[in-house]
Amino acid sequence: MVTLADVANAAGTQVEDKFYFAKRIERDEIGCRNGQQMNQFKPNKKAWKVWRRLLNKLCVTRYQRRLLRPMGRWLVAPAQMRRSWPFWINPTHPEVLFAQAAQHEDGAFTAHPKLMFSYDAVASGAPDPAVFAGRVPVQARERKGTFFTTWSPLAMAPIVAPQPPTTFLELLPTLDQWERDLFDTCQFLVPYHEVLHIVCTEPIMFASDGGAASPKASFGWVLSTNQGQSLLHVSGHAYGAHSNSYRAEGYGILSVMRFIFQVQSFVTGTLSESRLCCDNKSMVASSHEVPAEWKRTPNSTQASDYDVLAEIWATRDLLPVTACPAVLHIKGHQDKKTAYDQLPLPAQLNVDADKLAGDYMTAHPDKDYTVVPVLPTSGVQLHLPAGTITYNMKKEVSMARTTGPMKQYMIKKHGWEEESLEARLGRGNLP
Amino acid sequence: MYQAIYHLSVGFPLPMCYFTFKELDQAQKKAHRVMVAKCGYNRNSSLAMLFGPTQLGGASFFYLYDLQGFGQISYFLKHWRSPKASPDKMLQITVSWLQFCAGISTSVFTDTDLPLVYLESNYLTSLRQCLKDIRGSFHLLDDMMPPHQWANDVYLMEIQ
């Protein structure tokens, strides 16, 4: 029993007697149909007293066991219901009452329109979606061989499928938060349809760069034709408790990969070949190709910034070989020694991407960068008060418990105020 | 010797254990006093300083409990992130069962301050306690909470 739905009747108006009085309950009737079977000691009298007191709180009176707040519409499809229900009805055609019929020899379930036959009250297995589509459980009782319903249930909450997006910009709001953040600032420099045409017909070039000024980090990337026509500018933040430029570069590459993956759904043909230039040699080497299966051990998941790398590899796996960009290393900040106009195109694009990343950081001074949204491939993130830990976990975890007492010790020993200690720590001025 | 031998030998089995802080402190206390003296520190030095991080001028000795906690966190993360192997499947099943038993609307590893004394899994309960001690939490993509079945549905364990 997890929620009130597990003890309420099919109408959602009352706590069922069998749960209140702890009568013998068939395994199929408790809320653990999906393979989770209880195995526990028999509760004592005191436990049952607490249980009934809890249920009394939910009911108008302890005798009727009518719920103070009846249930509304069903939110889940029959296959996701935790309990099996014997009677079903289609609320739009209330004259047709369905019961789960005896199991056929071939294991299939059928439904009886007249409810005149015995039904399998302890049927197991998930309901067949075809048979139960549009139907919801109903409370029914038998009198002289006929079944009566006393209450007509509400129809299941309709699941309205949104219109499929037709452009990349329409697609953005429908993406998950972590993916939406990869395109936080997205500026098309030529009309959208022209960009789509170019990415299918001409070789293209991406240049990505990331920057970090602790504790902030951001990335930016540019899409251009090989002739130097800029098509798209994208920038966003690189999350992490102690973000660095390596992670920011990783976010940049991930953003490019996700762009290619998403834009594929809007083009009819295949994407033309592309190159991705990045000035971080280490990240280029890490993201260039997916490591062999034997290298992807559980221990390898503890590498620095594994979450971003794993997402890059997973996205690469989803792309067709022809659409996957060749990741190349170029020297960064070449404009320091040579004028921008005289630089080759990849170097110029790298300068543009670097500027985008820097501008993004300047434009969002108050943004909280410390909490990383969970990326689907990694599936879990460790959060500490400083933020999400993406590297050097051992040091961070050990410091999390010992730093507080040490600070208190120093405050007490030297008679400092807490602000004074923090200021000294900031300056590196400790005795 | 402290880092190269003691740390590795006592630390090897700890990630698979679920001792309390008190139990591990009792086990560590006597040997620790001797080792502190051999490392050149006064036996009566403040524990906060002895166990404090080097960055703040501490001596960076370690509690066995911290070693166990880091091991548990590390094992959880690496197995959760590689969902194809058998230990990883077992972990997912155990977490699913723990969440089912908890009967609350938040992940048991996200809200670690909520006292859940009735949880069954000793190992995961110990991991949860460790997260609480460092004021940490896990954010899981699939937190395995049993969903609401009806509108107005409530989790029984959250009824005040």
pLDDT in tens, A256-270: 999 999 998 888 888
Q: Which of A144-148, B23-27, B114-118 has the lowest mean pLDDT?
A: A144-148
Q: Which residue of A has its CA nearest to B82?
A: A298
Chain B residues touching residue A383 (CB < 8 angstroms): 136-139
pLDDT tens digit sequence for A353-392: 999 999 999 999 888 889 999 999 999 999 999 899 999 9
On whether both A182 and A238 belong to a single domain, the answer is yes
Contact at CB, B136 and A397, closer than 8 angstroms: yes
* Final residue in a domain of this structure, among B66, B97, B117: B66
Contact assignment for A54 to B78 by CB distance below 8 Å: no
Position A182 scores a pLDDT of 95
CB contact under 8 A, A36 and B97: yes
Examine the domain organization and report whether B86 and B157 are in the same domain. yes
CB of A394 within 8 Å of a chain B CB? The answer is yes
Sole residue written with tokens 């006093």: B33
pLDDT over 90, % of chain A = 36
Is the confidence at residue A214, as pLDDT, over 80? Answer: no
Half-sphere exposure of A285 (CA within 13 A, CB side): 4
DSSP-derived secondary structure for A54-70? HHHHHBSSTTT-BBSS-
Cβ-based contacts of B85 with chain A (< 8 Å): 298
B95 lies in the same domain as B60: no
In chain B, residues with a C-beta closer than 8 Å to the C-beta of A8 are 150
Q: Is there a single domain that holds both residue A121 and residue A181?
A: no
The whole-number pLDDT of residue A313 equals 93
Shared-domain flag, residues A278 and A182: yes
Alpha-helix runs per DSSP H in A228-344: 245-263, 281-288, 306-318
Which residues, 6 or more positions from A136, have their beta carbon under 8 angstroms from its beta carbon? A74, A88, A89, A90, A91, A153, A154, A155, A156
Last residue of a domain, one of B66, B90, B108: B66
Query: From residue B28, how far is each of A108, A171, A403, B4, B67 by CA, in Å?
Result: 62, 57, 20, 17, 12
Residue numbers of the domain that contains A404: 392-427
Total count of domains within chain B: 2
Q: Kindly report the nearest CA distance between residue A305 and chain B, in angstroms.
A: 13
Give bridge partners of residue B150 from the DSSP assignment.
Answer: A74
CA distance B62 to chain A (A): 8
Looking at B41, B66, B91, the residue that finishes a domain is B66
Residues of A in contact with B64 (CB under 8 A): none
From chain A, the residues in CB contact with B113 under 8 A are none
Chain B residues with beta carbon closer than 8 angstroms to that of A3 = 103, 146, 148-149, 153-156
| Residues B88, B59 share a domain | no
Same domain for B86 and B61, yes or no, is no
Q: How confident is the model at residue A104 (pLDDT cuts 50, 70, 90)?
A: very low
Give, rounded to a whole angstrom, the gap between the first and last alpha carbons of chain A.
59
pLDDT given at position A109: 47
Task: Tell me, yes or no, whether A212 and A145 share the same domain.
Answer: no
Q: Does A80 share its domain with A205?
A: no
Given A160, A177, A196, which residue is the final one in a domain? A160
Q: Do both B6 and B58 map to the same domain?
A: yes
Q: Does A399 touch chain B if contact means CB atoms closer than 8 Å?
A: yes
Q: How many domains does the structure of chain A reveal?
A: 3
- Is A183 found in the same domain as A153? no
- Binning pLDDT at 50, 70 and 90, where does residue A88 land? confident
Q: Does the pLDDT of residue A117 top 50, yes or no? A: no
**Residue B134: domain span:** 82-160
CA angle, A135 as apex, A131 and A136 as ends, to 5°?
Answer: 130
Position B98 in a domain:
yes
Cross-chain Cβ contact B136/A380 below 8 Å: no
Mean pLDDT throughout B103-116? 92
> Both A156 and A172 in a single domain?
no
Nearest to A376 among B57, B141, B148 (CB): B141
A106 and A185 assigned to the same domain: no
B59 & B86 share domain: no
pLDDT at position A124 is 43
Query: Is A79 an 8 Å CB contact of chain B?
Result: no
- B48-82 confidence digits (pLDDT tens): 999 999 888 899 899 999 999 999 999 999 999 98
Same domain, A148 and A32: yes
A373 within domain boundaries: no
Taking the Cβ of residue A298 and every Cβ of chain B, the question of whether any pair is shorter than 8 Å is answered with yes
Residues B102 and B53 in one domain: no
A402/B58 Cβ within 8 A: yes
**Which pLDDT does position A37 carry in this prediction?**
58
**Cβ-contact A75, B147 below 8 angstroms:** yes
User: How do strand A326-329 and strand A216-225 relate by DSSP bridges?
Assistant: unpaired
Co-location of B130 and B157 in the same domain: yes
Same domain, residue pair B141 and B98: yes
Query: Looking at A125, A160, A195, which one is the last position of a domain?
Result: A160
A371 in a domain, yes or no? no
Can you state the angle between helices A345-363 and A245-263, rounded to 10 degrees?
110
The answer on A144 and A181 residing in a single domain is: no
* Nearest-by-Cβ selection for B159 from A6, A57, A400: A57
Of the residues A160, A195, A221, the one at which a domain ends? A160
Do A144 and A178 belong together in one domain? no
Report yes or no on A375 lying in a domain: no
Distance from CA of B147 to the nearest CA of A (A): 8
Whether B95 and B144 share a structural domain: yes
What's the gap in Å between the CA of A24 and the closest CA on chain B?
21
Interface residue A239 vs chain B (CB under 8 A): no
Question: Taking 50 as the threshold, does the pLDDT of residue A102 lie above it?
Answer: no
Picking from A149, A4, A17, the residue whose alpha carbon sits closest to that of residue A70 is A4
In this structure, are B121 and B155 located in the same domain?
Answer: yes
Using DSSP bridges, classify how beta strands A274-278 and A326-329 pair: parallel, antiparallel or unpaired: parallel
Nearest Cβ partner for B149 among A54, A82, A378: A82
Chain A to chain B Cβ contacts (< 8 Å): 178
- Helix count (H) and strand count (E) of chain B? 6, 1
Would you say residue B21 has pLDDT above 50?
Answer: yes
Q: Does A33 touch chain B (CB under 8 A)?
A: no
* Neighbouring C-beta atoms of residue A283, cutoff 10 Å: 27
Does residue B71 fall inside a structural domain?
no
What distance in Å separates the CA atoms of residue A390 and residue A28, rounded to the nearest whole number? 44
Nearest chain B residue to A55, by CA:
B156
Same domain, B60 and B119: no
* Strand positions, DSSP E, A144-251: 146-149, 185-188, 204-213, 216-225, 230-237
Q: Using the 8-state DSSP alphabet, how is residue B113 labeled?
A: T
Q: Is residue B107 part of a domain?
A: yes
Q: Could you give the CA distance from residue A371 to residue A365 in angstroms, rounded to a whole number?
A: 16
CATH number, domain containing residue A342: 3.30.420.10
User: Residue B51's closest chain A neighbor by CA?
Assistant: A402
> Please, what is the average pLDDT of chain A?
83
pTM of the model: 0.86
Whether residues A97 and A206 fall in one domain: no
A157 inside 8 A of chain B by CB: yes
Q: Among A29-43, A274-288, A399-413, B17-31, which stretch is predicted with the lowest mean pLDDT? A: A29-43
Q: Say whether residue A428 is in contact with chain B using an 8 A CB cutoff.
A: no
Phi then psi dihedrals of residue A320, to 5 deg: -65, 155
